[in-house]
Chains A and B, each alone.
Chain A
């Protein structure tokens, strides 16, 4: 069990290093003046320019700059925003919780709805095809429109939920639904298909012969057998949720990292945006690795393969 863990962690480090390198190259390989790229399209005096050159070490050879950049990141230094005149790490930290809260709630919706839609309908022709059609429609619906419709029906018309903001549970319900349902539909399709395959396996017949009820059979035996594919997709789903959060925050007027990212684009605040992208990539890679290791826990067959 130790060997696959070490391998995965090693590959995590390599991927992170590559991602950071890509970000570094993005600043330096883009044609034009890196100083101008960092501060955006605004005029600055020669003094300020000299200060930025000194801070980023732009007058030193590229390899030295690169090592400096890596070293800074290792210490949690995501750079400095010349637009907001604050360190990027501080800017993000101040707005991190609403986004994390939204992403977690979205994940809960995604997993919960996927289970509800897939477990009872797998292997049943009529129920399965109804659920499949519903999922096709949800997958094809942009989350911001879903959000607008939810907002109109449940906030404006029925007044069940607040229209904007991020205070408390009630403000979280609609954004989480808008964010999570698309991912739920994707996971549900995968899960239903896996369960339909598992239901054809001989062990199902054995279990039925021993008198197990259908619900228990599905939840206890078939679900676990089919869970690996959707769990392996969970990393991908998480990426979906992170990206979707940017849009959903905008629809529901929620504070958060997504809103900062949008403001950074408007102001051409590249350091802030790059910091957010790196942080997201970091979170994404860590989640993917944890997910891969989880699939080894769920399915002993994969464990055997990973070791050999």
Chain B
């Protein structure tokens, strides 16, 4: 399922000399994608919604680079204009997951004894609903649409962040300097805000980046099954849902939007892994 994160951490074994071509390519892809989000008309001036029956189902070629759909709309144009929906949904739901998950992680991580045990079980309960099922329940209550989509994906990400921040908090909370702060008479809230939180955040960028990729795929998946963006929106999952109906005759409707999705996800995951590797190198066991 697309909501989950790659858990493996690449090791330092890989060569590090020479320019990092993978990272360069990833940044390039993300740059073009960002442009498509901010100013799609610059990359694809045509209208992504307007139908033109005379140009229906043209295969990829000189007339239309990636072909046209059953209503004569240019696929490349639709993909460029759709980037906005898919990416913003991924970013917004990751942000929501962080806003809820991080404080919850700090809180349950700072508790000792019974409180800690309760916190641990709470996270277990939250994780007991597999991500997409949690998302389905949320959407059933809010109804399909962008708000429900972000709420659904965001709440599915909460346990991931809570778990990570909780583990980091426990590590920091037991360290000597927090002990010292306590003996100096600092209150728990002040310790949490000034000393624990900043130190737990160092692990977040890598995981959050990888989570964005997962959330983008999740948003597309939910739109594909009709619970996110609705046609005629050119959201990538919605494009693929339309493409499914023409798979036999027009493969390009289904291939290119998915390719765009995969390329962007690979790029984001590549950046996330570089962040992770840097973190691993900075903090040897």
- Chain A residues within CB distance 8 Å of chain B: 11, 14-16, 18-19, 22, 26, 30, 37, 125, 129, 132, 136-137, 139-145, 148-149, 151-152, 156, 182, 186, 189-190, 192-193, 196, 233, 236, 239-244, 246-247, 250-251, 261-262, 264-266, 268-270, 273-274, 276-277, 280-281, 284-285
Contact = CB atoms under 8 A, between A and B. Distances in A.
Given A149-B254, A152-B251, 6 more contacts: A136-B266, A139-B6, A140-B262, A240-B4, A265-B144, A266-B226
Contact of A137 (B144, B244, B266): B266
A11 B124 contact: yes
A19 B244 CA distance: 36
A141 B265 contact: yes
Nearest to A279: B133
Contacts of A277: 129, 133-134, 136-137
B132 A247 contact: yes
8 contacts: A15-B124, A143-B2, A143-B221, A148-B258, A189-B7, A242-B130, A265-B139, A277-B136
Interface in B215-257: 217, 220-221, 224-227, 237, 240, 243-244, 247-248, 251, 254-255
A142 B143 CA distance: 23
A280 B270 contact: no
A136 B272 CA distance: 12
Interface string B2-13: 111011111101
Contacts of A143: 1-2, 221
A244 B9 CA distance: 23
Contacts of B9: 193
A273 B130 contact: no
Contacts of A189: 6-8
B129 A14 contact: no
Given A240-B1, A247-B1, A285-B128, A196 B11 contact: yes
Contact of B247 (A16, A137, A151): A151
B186 interface: no
Contacts of A132: 10
A114 to B, nearest CB: 11
A262 B10 CA distance: 37
B140 A265 contact: yes
Contacts of A149: 254-255, 258
A140 B196 CA distance: 33
A25 to B, nearest CB: 11
B8 A265 contact: no
B121 interface: yes
If over half of B's interface residues share one DSSP class (helix, strand or loop), that class is named, otherwise mixed; here it is helix
A151 B136 CA distance: 25
A239 B130 contact: yes
A265 B248 CA distance: 29
B131 A156 contact: no
B181 interface: no
Given A18-B122, A274-B137, A142 B131 contact: no
A270 B140 contact: yes
Contact of B13 (A125, A186, A190, A247): A125
A196 B13 contact: yes
A243 B131 contact: yes
Contacts of B17: none
Given A142-B262, A144-B224, A156-B248, A246 B254 contact: no
B137 A19 contact: no
A264 B3 CA distance: 21
Central interface residue in A145, A182, A265, by most chain B CB within 10 Å: A145
Contacts of B268: 140
Contacts of A244: 1-2, 132
A26 B137 contact: yes
A186 B7 contact: yes
